[in-house]
Chain A
Amino acid sequence: MHYLDHAATTPLRPEALAAMREQWEQVGNPSSLHTAGRRARSVVEESREQIAAIVGVKPADVVFTSGGTEADNLALKGIARASGKKRILISAVEHHAVLDPADALIEEGFTVERIGVDHLARVDLDELEWLIDADVALVAVMYANNEVGTLQPVDEVARVCARHGVAVHTDAVQALGQVEMDLTGVDSVALSAHKVGGPVGVGVLILDRAMQVSPLTHGGGQERDIRSGTVDAAGVAGFAAALAAPKPDLVPLRDQLIAAVFEAVPDAVLNGDPDQRLPNNAHFSFPGCPGDALLMLLDAAGIAVSTGSACTAGIPQPSHVLLAMGADDSLASSSLRFSLGWNSTAEDVAALRLALPPAVERARRAGGIR
């Protein structure tokens, strides 16, 4: 199989597996006071310090969660509820882990306003300036878009927010391990372990200690009393080990992939910012090709790709990201995301180059049948 869907999840890194196996073979609750507990706690704290050092924050800012979605929920709901304010600004191209908690807050009396993006999916800073005021509880703009790969000007967003004394959250789930992040002025950051070769079910919310936040879960008071629940020592050790593992530079392979797609399908359209994009992401629209048909045909040829968002039943939906970028419904339903990872090879790209033309031809034939 040629796996080109690393943005969904990437294979576990051997370093992470080794670190987790070591912990799974030992007993100890990090909250216990005896020797076994202290040992587990020390593993958790070492992992915390390691992750903090790599991301460039203080260890005390690292709050372990069950994943990126919980981290985003904790940031959105926790910060908004504790703020005493009632307005939330989010970019129109956020992941559902941000869009949906924001929408859920509407029921609590919050107003949620979406900041538009340009045709490259870059958030409109002028619109942010126009919308923002001191009555805004939180601005959320993702570090990199999970579908089209565009890097957002998070540093500039943070500067605007700082002028108004407004908190900033960024979902950096896709950016982690891919780009050097500048988190100056950012109050909270959501991270996920399995996107960098760590285990599924482990995440981090980087949260400035000065931030007021109301917890979502109450219990044993772990993680600064913000996120109760026994910390998964093996999981966080796996996260830290995966993050610390050496990363290949994926830019040359990605550019090779982009060139291969244009060679195979000359009228394909590359979506997102051509320069300011994730090194592992290539996102294309194939005019006249239903994305789901293309996915199925490539799957049958042994190539795993993504159509972006699908509903719970598995029906691909026109991407809200592409719609926000100004694409029409049919183009938004005709796109595929190819994403590379730490073990991707030139053979994966070569296989795609071979499989794409017949798949596109067939999918186009099926395109008119709705």
Chain B
Amino acid sequence: MKRVVAAMSGGVDSAVAAARLVDAGYEVTGVHLALAEKRYAGGGRGCCTLEDVHDARRAADRLGIPFYVWDFAERFQQTVLDDFLHEYSQGRTPNPCVSCNQHIKFAAVLERAQALGFDAVGTGHYARLVEGPDGPELHRAADPEKDQSYVLGVLDADQLAGSLFPLGDSHKAQVRAEAADRGLLVADKPDSHDICFIPDGDTRGFLRERLGGQDGPIVDATSGEQLGSHSGAVGFTIGQRRGLHLQQPAADGQPRYIVDVDLERNTVFVDRRGPCADPRARPTGTGPLHDRPRRAARAVVGCCPRSDRCALSRHPGARFGPDHPHVLVRRLALLISPPHEVGRALLWMPLLCG
């Protein structure tokens, strides 16, 4: 029987994933990852998200599996958090979940698990692993709304071979119903949308505290006219339209989007062109370019995990590269040769449609 670590965040997805691993006959050990910066209070026994630890522990109790907390806070700080801050300081918007999967969950945790005699790490990610001719392939989840394959695209073949995603074939509603059937108290726990280490959701406040920030202008990229001001350019994201607090609406009443963030001049540029229409086309974090580039070159290149709508081929005139940073954002591209994905890469991609 395979021995598996079920990474349990305290949420409903990872609880059901762990339950399914138990049902599938694996010998499962629940592990909660302590990743937050330690806050030392009271008796000097600093703790992070106590409620989440409690919820995860209760789910493990319910499943009758052992449960432990593994402390990767230092590694998380040195990789995910530092990368997060570095990317923002360079005017880019990282996705910390990607680097967490790459450096923590399917690296440090998987390595530690394997050293301790486990065979794999299972998580509550919505993604599917399909056995292909060259080993396991990462495929999109059955639930297009919840698909998380895009945050797993950075995993290499060895990491995929050590991974289990028991929720890939399910829809979120099924998972919640199953949690309720199993008597898991987290069945109706709200989804977490925030970045786990910024629990109040105030990313710009988090960044200002760590990277500093001075007041600066918000400028129309076409006319050069100053439309407003901001309290620090760090933390603005290309494509963002909310939170600009522009004094002057556009003449045509259309919303304006950030098209460039110039940190050197502490200036945010906006324009009326909209971002990629697919709301799921999210920018991702850092990662290596890898996977069969020659086959990729023959493939259709899509800029978001599930859609070829924004494929480069549909924008033959799109210019991209370091010369045109104001329309570029780094994001994960799946290299698609229908019906299979043949590779994954992090590319600089044009964000703005049309």
Contacts and interface: CB of A to CB of B under 8 A. Distances in A.
- Answer yes or no: do A and B interact: yes
Interface of A: 96, 99-100, 103, 292-293, 296-297, 299-300, 309-317, 320, 362-363, 365-366, 369-370
Interface in B1-33: 29, 32
A293 B47 contact: no
B69 interface: yes
20 contacts: A96-B45, A100-B43, A292-B68, A296-B29, A296-B68, A297-B116, A300-B29, A311-B45, A311-B46, A313-B49, A313-B50, A313-B53, A314-B69, A315-B34, A316-B71, A362-B116, A362-B117, A363-B116, A366-B112, A370-B75
Contact of A313 (B69, B75, B115): B69
A309 B108 contact: no
A165 B271 CA distance: 79
Contacts of A310: 45
Given A317-B45, A320-B44, A369 B112 contact: yes
Given A362-B116, A365-B115, A369-B111, A315 B43 contact: no
Q: Nearest 3 A-B pairs (CB), nearest first?
A: A311-B45, A366-B115, A365-B115
Nearest to A311: B45
Given A100-B42, A369-B108, A370-B108, A315 B71 contact: yes
Nearest to A296: B68
B312 interface: no
B74 interface: yes
A99 B70 contact: no
A280 to B, nearest CB: 25
A311 B47 contact: yes
B135 interface: no
Nearest to B53: A313
A34 B47 CA distance: 50
A290 to B, nearest CB: 9
A349 to B, nearest CB: 23
Nearest to B66: A299
Nearest to A369: B112
B72 interface: yes
Contact of B66 (A300, A313, A366): A300
A162 to B, nearest CB: 31
B112 A99 contact: no
Interface in B33-85: 34, 42-50, 53, 57, 66, 68-72, 74-75
Given A312-B47, A362-B115, A292 B34 contact: no
Given A299-B66, A320-B44, A369-B111, A293 B116 contact: yes
A309 B45 contact: yes
Interface of B: 29, 32, 34, 42-50, 53, 57, 66, 68-72, 74-75, 108, 111-112, 115-117
A46 to B, nearest CB: 37
A296 B47 contact: no
Contacts of A312: 45, 47, 50
B318 to A, nearest CB: 43
Contacts of B34: 313, 315
Given A299-B66, A369-B108, A315 B116 contact: no
Nearest to A314: B69
A164 B72 CA distance: 49
Given A312-B50, A314-B32, 8 more contacts: A312-B47, A313-B49, A317-B44, A362-B117, A369-B108, A369-B111, A369-B115, A370-B74
A292 B70 contact: yes
Contacts of A370: 72, 74-75, 108
Contact of A96 (B43, B50, B74): B43
A302 to B, nearest CB: 11
Contacts of B57: 314
Contacts of B74: 370
A296 B108 contact: no
Contact of A99 (B43, B68, B116, B117): B43
Contacts of A96: 43, 45
B53 A314 contact: yes
Contacts of B70: 292
B211 to A, nearest CB: 26
Contacts of A99: 43-44
A320 B43 CA distance: 11
